[in-house]
Structure 1
Amino acid sequence: MEKFGSALEKNVAELTVMDVYDIAAVVGQEFERIIDQYGCEALSRLMPKVVRVLEILEVMVSRNSIGPETEELRLELDKLRLERMDRMEKEKKHKKVSISRYY
């Protein structure tokens, strides 16, 4: 397989943005071969669709490529959200108890 072909063999969860660029290069080479043999018309409707799929793949991969610092921040944010919800629930219960004392 071509030098960029290894990106096509990777597990999807392990893909990087650079792998997407490598895949785009492989697809581009194949498009060039088809164009050389059959002309531009052979790919005129397909090429924009493939380009769009590669753009989507790039965005999806970049969203999933988070470093350990980002993951740590995400976990801390989740923890703070749970603490806030717990505190709000306790305040709600406290208000109910306070109101019931007056009645």
Structure 2
Amino acid sequence: MTTTAVDPAKCRRCHRALTSAKSIATGYGPGCAAKIRGAAKTADLTDFKPAQIAKATELIEQGGILRTRRPNLYTAVSGDGNTTYLVARQACTCPAGIKNRACYHRAALTILAAA
């Protein structure tokens, strides 16, 4: 009988192993999740509307924003889940970002940077 090793799920923020089902589902350990929730309340989000902040928080909670190999560049999933965008704190390739408007993808990076 052959067994294969399964890679443990790791926190998207601190890269520690996740053990609880809830942490594995969200992608963040309880400590990192608390820091992100706190950052959402204290980060400078004056450029974003309340609806964008709510969507940014949901994007983070659902694991829809991922680091790339390039520093300060992330991949974000669209609201319908069919498209991905490249996001940096100052720019995004989503339709709003291309028009130099604030988008919830950038709000999510602002929250993550403050955490």
TM-score range, shorter chain: under 0.3
**Structure having the larger proportion of residues in helix:** 1
TM-score (norm 1): 0.27
Question: Which structure has the highest strand share of the two?
Answer: 2
Instruction: Pick the structure with greater CA Rg.
Output: 1
Normalised by the length of structure 2, the TM-score is 0.24
